[in-house]
Amino acid sequence: MDHHDRPEQGPACSVDLSHRVRRHCPVGRGPEAVVVDPGRRRAYVACSRSDAVVALDLDRGVAVWTAPVGREPIPVILDLPTRRLFTADARSDTVTVLDADTGSRLTQIPVGAYPAGLGHHPGLRRVYAGNTADGTVTAIDADRLVVVGTVPAELGAGSIAVDTRRDRGYSANFMAGSVTVFDADALTPLGTVAVREGPCKVVPDPAAGLLYVASSLHGTIGRVSLEDGTVLDELPVERAPVGMCVDPSGGRLYVCNRGAGTVSVLDTRAGRETHRITVGNAPGDCALDPATGTLLVSNAGSGTVSFVDRPWLPGPAQPAVHPLVGRSLPGFALPDLRGGRIRTSREWAEKKYVINFFASW
């Protein structure tokens, strides 16, 4: 086929009944974002290391088609009126548009440098791309598929949230430790909210009047008022939260903890974590199937999508902490990679040093 590959039946989904995880379905390398189409019973997954989008049958858990896009697609959104998929291709500086039913490529739109996030306002017929290296937001007409404007943000602009009730957009600026607020219609900046360092995901909850901000560096979720931009509080989660989705009917927020391989379930009314769900390696993002209540989690490190039944209910107790956690570094002597020189733990005794595990997933 010209524009996409229709794969043979892929590997069978492995089954894990712990934490009510129904299945882990292989999709491709580096799956990041996932979006659900409950009417057509499909999910669409952006596989960043495969440079492709994969369509999954929600009921059978098998791939329907795989479509190539630009290099390193991170987010994916679905525009239902046109049945078009949009991906931001970070290393191609483009937004690719696909036919959601067939996977055929419709066009590819140049945007700013390293677009890593997308936002969507169906009413205004707009798609917004957060350009990380430029510190800007590009606005695209969802019907005509042309760029209609650019909003200045700050360095590290990526994830975009849209409050459709107030016609406001929010850009998470990872490097600047801020969120830029802009008019989603006029495309003018309205102000900046200072947040924790490393905000990498923003999600609106218009029903609760809140914007959730995931700080991957601090392992926290900030709660910001959509009305006036006040930072209300922070909720601790596990390591490196990078993806989130809101249950609009149940007062819950699901948070993908990339560094821990878990999803934290937060009670947004009580402002606390109720339990955690063990999924695959390096979960990147999640989405709810409103027809069944199933939570879909894209696992970048496993190349899978986890299907979690009744995710609002606690599963089995988490395993105990390893007995070595918190204890002193044991002695060792090992050859290094430069000439085989023997290095021992005594070299670092009584010294301060930094071990860099950044992006270890």
Q: CB within 8 A of 46, min separation 6: which ones? A: 31, 32, 33, 34, 53, 69, 73, 74, 75, 76, 87, 298
φ, ψ of residue 347 to 5 degrees: the values are -65, -25
DSSP code at position 238: S
φ, ψ of residue 29 to 5 degrees: the values are -90, 130
Task: Find out whether 235 and 249 touch, Cβ atoms under 8 Å.
Answer: no
pLDDT of the residue at 357: 53
pLDDT of the residue at 16: 47
* Domains of the chain as residue ranges with CATH: 18-308 (2.130.10.10)
Task: Find out whether 85 and 76 touch, Cβ atoms under 8 Å.
Answer: yes
DSSP code at position 310: S
DSSP code at position 5: B
Phi-psi region of 303 (alpha: psi -120 to 50; beta: other; left: phi over 0): left
Looking at beta carbons, which pairs linking 6-13 to residues 24 or more positions away fall under 8 Å? 6/64, 6/65, 6/66, 7/63, 7/65, 7/66, 9/62, 10/62, 10/63, 13/61, 13/62
Both structure tokens of 125: 């017929």
Q: Where are the alpha helices (DSSP H) in the chain?
A: none
Instruction: Read off the pLDDT of residues 139-165 as tens digits, 9 standing for 90 and up.
Output: 999 999 999 999 999 999 999 999 999
Amino acid at 332: F
Both structure tokens of 114: 């390293």
pLDDT of the residue at 14: 55
Residue 284 half-sphere exposure toward CB, CA atoms < 13 A: 29
Burial class, 99, CB count within 10 angstroms (exposed 0-12 / middle 13-18 / buried 19+): middle
Please give the full DSSP string across 120-157, using - where no structure is assigned: EETTTTEEEEEETTTTEEEEEETTT--EEEEEE--TTE
Selection from 75, 63, 62 nearest residue 30 by Cα: 75
Q: CB within 8 A of 143, min separation 6: which ones? A: 82, 125
**What percentage of the chain's residues is helix, strand, coil (to nearest 5)?**
0, 50, 45
Q: Which residue numbers in the chain have pLDDT < 50?
A: 1-10, 16-18, 360-361
Residue 166 half-sphere exposure toward CB, CA atoms < 13 A: 22
Measured CA to CA, the distance from residue 131 to residue 277 in angstroms comes to 32
Selection from 312, 276, 302, 301 nearest residue 13 by Cα: 302
pLDDT of the residue at 140: 98
Measured CA to CA, the distance from residue 101 to residue 108 in angstroms comes to 18
Amino acid at 322: H
